[in-house]
Structure 1
Amino acid sequence: MKKTYFLLFLALTTSLVSCRKDKFEVVRAGNPADTEVNNWIHANMKQWYFWNDKLPESPDFKPDPQTFFQSLLYKFDPSLRPDGDRFSWLQESAAELKASLSGESTTTGLEYRMIRYVTGQDDLFGVVTYVDKGSSAEKAGFKRGDFFTHINGQKLSVGNYRALLTTGNEAKVITLGTLDADKKVVSTSTTRSATPGVIQSNPVYFDTTFVKGEKRVGYVVYHQFIPGPNGSNAKTYDQELEKIFADFKAKGVNELVMDLRYNRGGYVSSATQIASLVGKGVSDKDVFYYKEYNKTVTPDLEKQYGKDFFHDNFLSKSQNLGGSLNRVFFLTSTSSASASELLINGLKPFMEVFLVGGKTVGKNVGSITLSDKTNRIKWGIQPIVSRSSNSQRSSDYTAGFEPNVVKTEGTLLYPYGDPHDPLLGEALFQIFGTRVARRGLDESEEQPKVGPEVYSSIDRKAAGGNMFFTLPNQ
């Protein structure tokens, strides 16, 4: 049986890249420091980039690293390059890159959406989607569904919200909003203060069960595919999920709802873990997903790790709930991406998969973290290096997975586990056949009248929706 390996991050050095005898090009113009970084970027991209056969033949090494990196990409174009790259990125600090991919960041703990009051106008208000546990925002009393209208006394607008919410380490005084009689968001006199700090987010956010007759429903909210805290080899969060599924199994759960509406992706090892807890009739002999690399690196990987490296099997889990399930429900949105989609795709050959919510992002490719182990170069690269498919070799979801039932959560948000939530309520309706009464109002009447969404902080999670691979024995 193939061994299962786990590493939080893969740090590749220029010496590893140079084992293929790629020569750094000599460039005598431009900033010398930038030139060194650009040569390092180019050598790594020639080795690992999934579309390395599409790299420019004679790139200009003179620009700053970010501009240079963008010039190398085989960028997506719906007409010219529908198979192109939408997801690779470069970050100035490899250390910050690695931390963020494991759920560690400097933040107040607020996750939110910014929404126009009226279409065509620049004034905005915010709605809290959730609050990181243990954060300054949680301690200040913020909760899912809160409205806010001002930061440090300044009214939020298209032109200032990023600076007010995402920059500076000082305390942010946040003015709460409420709905008036006309269901419009208005400011209140109530303020709360939250200070940015280093937070390790726990992705296993909420779980509960619903029982009606013979139906026993397990519900889990999962925000990011992370095995454990940054800098730790302990699979703390994977183990939390095992305990939840063991509890579900003990309670006789026979329907499962997994809430991935805010899940942008993460480590495929955690996707494999969850698939192994959910999959019906799966064993460690069954393939969960295949992965394909470029022609340059494939022979090296096969020589070093063997042919089994190019697929991952399900794991044998005593907590597996699949024996009691005929289907699994996923709650999705336009933010659900990458490892979330890998999980959906990988389970499809083994059981019915029912989606409620929004169309997913459409990311069937994965990345690794490239950094200079000598620390001479501080930058980090997160390039797309592979394409994934399920056990039936199906990988055709670059346009995203369409939900079986289209639902949006709206602007008036309910606590996790509240059946009035449109997405959860729909899943429970599909299971129980009855809907929760909505205080005499239909869904459209209950929601406030607002303009379009401008920004969601969720979309910066996992740096835009990637799934991260690691190599054994590195």
Structure 2
Amino acid sequence: MHQRRDWRSALLLLAAGSFLMTSCKKEIDSITPQSSTTTSTTSTSDQEVNKWIIDNLKIYYYWNDKLPANPNNTQKPADFFKSLLYSYDATVRPDGDRFSWIQESADELKASLSGESKTTGMEYQLYRPAGTDDIYGKVLYTHPGSPAALAGIKRGDIFYKVNGQKLVTANYSQLLAGDGSTFTYGFAKLQDGKIVTTDETKTVTPVVLQQNPILMDTVYTIAGKTIGYFVYNQFVPGPNGSSVPTYDNQLDAIFGKFKAKGVNELVIDFRYNPGGYVSSATNLASLIGRGVDQSKVFARKEWNSTLTPELEKQYGKSFFYDYFKTKANNIGGNLNRVYVLTTRRTASASELVINGLRPYMTVTTIGATTTGKNVGSITISDDTKKIKWGMQPIVSKSFNSLGQSDYTAGFIPAVKIDELLTQDWKQFGDISEVMLNEAIYQITGGRTARRPAPPQESTTIISSSIEQKAGGSNMFFEAPALRVNQ
């Protein structure tokens, strides 16, 4: 028989578990706290799931003091979860929750947080031109070796049809979600700054793909400057299910190369990075920060009033702090500043790195205003496996070493550049690519290519496949071995 843990016992699991900073997932880092109290082998009722939901939110939710007193327990779990949230409202609740989410499969949630999902391998952004119901997708990038990449789909490609149907506001969501079967995309092209449809099609079949978050890296020598550049799309330490931080190690190796080549300027491409494991954010920041080591604070976490005194009592004040690591491949000694490329998809752990580095060096953002997520979440699942759901509630707020956390509206770029539908997009690493080119100009004072005037277009960005990524970053708490009373 599974006995119910009291909230202090569940707290021990939290301390030994994982913490994530993710972007929102249009409705939205791992512990297994409150268990189901039933022992029946029959299917779990909605009421049982709902009880599990609210029991855990009462303990962990950052706004647990604002949970409704008498929630309607007869709702479906997803609706019930949503009804409990202290939801964001620009006028009434500007400090509210924009990011908590729940998923019917905890296993799928955990896999996606580690960069594994069923996908064509094509990330895209959707645009709607003003005065029309037309929807156009523009490819942000494709994952190397994915079905989309093997089909020849590349960054900047524009599609307007899926499986023979033109994308419009009434059908795009259903067509792009599909049923997991084959997708045939119909493509358009740019001609004199205008979209022209073509008969070209490409067919891809989604597969379960483990996505390496490091898309590319390179070093440029321009005007006496040695510039390191890398594209990083999710804070993930290693592949799903692996205990080896393969991707963190790859970043270490990249910075080893940067150090060996004498890199003295750095450009980080976070434009499509929705977040991820705080451990990976700490690792990356430790490779960049000037004068940092394990004695310097990278970030501080603020928890709710229920958990804070208990956490401090059991683990001390250091529990609330994340410290830099001392890294052999740190290049901060050669850097006074760092440039970060951003878009509205840049969120969470990406913003944590920006905020965490600012007390130690100049951080200049180029692109568009970031998401504005200064809060973190944990993955909560049922350790008995009776309840299959997984939820990702916000549990803390993050500050840098100076106590700054003032970016709920996002980081406004020092240099504003938008990626537009009718703009010709260059490939990553091309020094004439508009954002990278701007960074090089800021570093050297000279342009490697003329900055194009933005096309005169009026379009609305509808959504992006990036929003459907769990993003996910974890902050691993090394808790002392304590007995859990059951």
Pair in the same fold by TM > 0.5: yes
Which letter maps to 1:253?
V
Counterpart in 2 of 1:143? 154
In structure 1, the residue matched to 2:259 is 249
**Residue 462 of structure 2 corresponds to residue 454 of structure 1:** yes
AA aligned to 1:226 is V
One of 96, 105, 112 as aligned partner of 2:108:
96
Q: State the shift of 1:64 in Å.
A: 0.9
Is the contact between residue 93 and residue 380 of structure 1 (CA under 8 Å) also seen in structure 2?
Answer: yes
Q: Does 1:363 pair with 2:373?
A: yes
Whether 2:21 is the aligned partner of 1:10: answer no
- 1:97-136 deviation line (CA, Å, top 9, x unaligned): 11111111111111111222x3121112221110012211
Aligned to 2:320: 310
Deviation of 1:470 (Å):
3.9
Q: Distance in 1 between matches of 2:248 and 2:268?
A: 15
Q: Name stretches of at least 5 consecutive residues in structure 1 with no aligned partner.
A: 19-23, 25-30
CA deviation after TM superposition for structure 1 residue 345, in Å:
0.5
The 5 A counterparts of 1:380-391 are 380-391=390-401
Aligned length: 451
* Counterpart-to-counterpart distance in 1, 2:407 and 2:442: 24
Equivalent in 301, 308, 321 of residue 298 of structure 1: 308
| 2:445 corresponds to 1:433 | yes
In the TM superposition, residue 32 of structure 1 has moved relative to its aligned partner by 7.5
Equivalent position to 2:228, from 190, 198, 218:
218
Query: What is residue 432 of structure 2 aligned with on the other side?
Result: 420
Alpha-carbon offset, residue 259 of structure 1? 0.5
Offset of residue 307 of structure 1 = 2.2
Cα pair distance change 1:386/1:325, threshold 3 Å: same
- 1:197 paired residue number: 207
Q: 1:245 to 1:458 in 2, by over 3 A?
A: same
Aligned residue type for 2:418: T
Check 1:14–1:145 CA distance in 2 against 1; reply closer, same or farther (3 A cut).
same
Offset of residue 213 of structure 1? 3.4
Contact 2:293 2:326 in 1 (8 A): yes
The reply on whether 1:73 has 2:80 as its aligned counterpart is no
CA contact (8 A) 1:126 1:148 kept: yes
Letter in 2 for 1:104: E
Alpha-carbon deviation of 1:449?
4.5
Provide the alpha-carbon RMSD of the alignment: 2.2
CA deviations 1:407-459 (Å, max 9, x no partner) are 11323211001122221111110011111334xx8332xx4856332221122
CA distance in 2, matches of 1:318, 1:470: 22
Query: Which residue in the other structure is 1:402 paired with?
Result: 412
> Residue type of the partner of 2:126?
M
Report how far residue 5 of structure 1 moved: 8.2
Contact 1:10 1:471 in 2 (8 A): no
Q: Contact 2:182–2:204 at 8 Å: present in 1 too?
A: yes
C-alpha separation between the residues in 1 aligned to 2:269 and 2:302? 29
Whether the 8 Å contact between 2:297 and 2:400 is mirrored in structure 1 is yes
Residue 26 of structure 2 corresponds to none
8 Å contact from structure 2 (residues 18, 475) kept in 1: no
Deviation, structure 1 residue 176:
2.0
Contact 1:103 1:201 in 2 (8 A): yes
State the match for 2:23 in structure 1.
none
Q: In 2, are the aligned partners of 1:89 and 1:382 still within 8 Å (CA)?
A: yes
Q: Which has the higher contact order (CA 8 A, sep 6+)?
A: 2
Q: Does 1:34 align with 2:46?
A: yes
Alpha-carbon deviations, 1:164-220, whole Å to 9, x = none? 22221221111222123x432222222211101101111111111111232100001
Q: Which amino acid aligns with 1:111?
A: E
What SS class does the counterpart of residue 424 from structure 1 fall into?
Answer: helix
Q: 2:301 is matched by which residue type in structure 1?
A: K
Deviations 1:55-106 (A, max 9, x none): 1112221111111111111111222222111111111111111111111111
Q: Which residue of 2 aligns with 1:21?
A: none
Q: Do the aligned residues in 1 keep the contact of 2:116 with 2:208 (CA within 8 Å)?
A: yes
Specify the code of the residue in structure 2 equivalent to 1:78. Answer: A
One-letter identity of the residue aligned with 2:342: T
Query: 1: distance between equivalents of 2:18 and 2:406?
Result: 29
Distance across 2 between alignment mates of 1:381 and 1:361 = 21
Report the identity percentage. Answer: 52
Aligned letter for 1:129? L
Is the 1:51–1:74 contact (alpha carbons within 8 Å) kept by the matching residues of 2?
yes
1:472 aligns to 2:478 (yes or no) = yes
Question: Residues 366 and 469 of structure 1 are in contact (CA less than 8 Å); yes or no, is this contact kept in structure 2?
Answer: no
What is the alpha-carbon distance in structure 2 between the residues aligned to residue 304 and residue 366 of structure 1?
Answer: 21
Conservation of the 8 A alpha-carbon contact between 2:119 and 2:206 = yes
- Code of the aligned partner of 1:245: F
Whole-Å Cα distance in 1 between the matches of residues 469 and 429 of structure 2? 23
AA aligned to 2:284 is: I
- Please give the alpha-carbon distance, in whole angstroms, between the structure 2 residues aligned to 1:251 and 1:471: 35
Quick check: 2:342–2:367 contact (8 Å CA) kept in 1? yes
Q: Give the TM-score of the pair, scaled to structure 1.
A: 0.91
Moved segments of 4+, more than 3 Å: 4-9, 447-450, 466-474
- Asked if the contact 2:18/2:474 (under 8 Å) is kept, the reply is no
Give the secondary-structure state (helix, strand or coil) at the position aligned to 1:228: coil
- Corresponding residue number in structure 1 for 2:96: 84
String of CA shifts for 1:201-256, please: whole Å, max 9, x gaps.
11111111111232100001000111111111110111111111110111110000
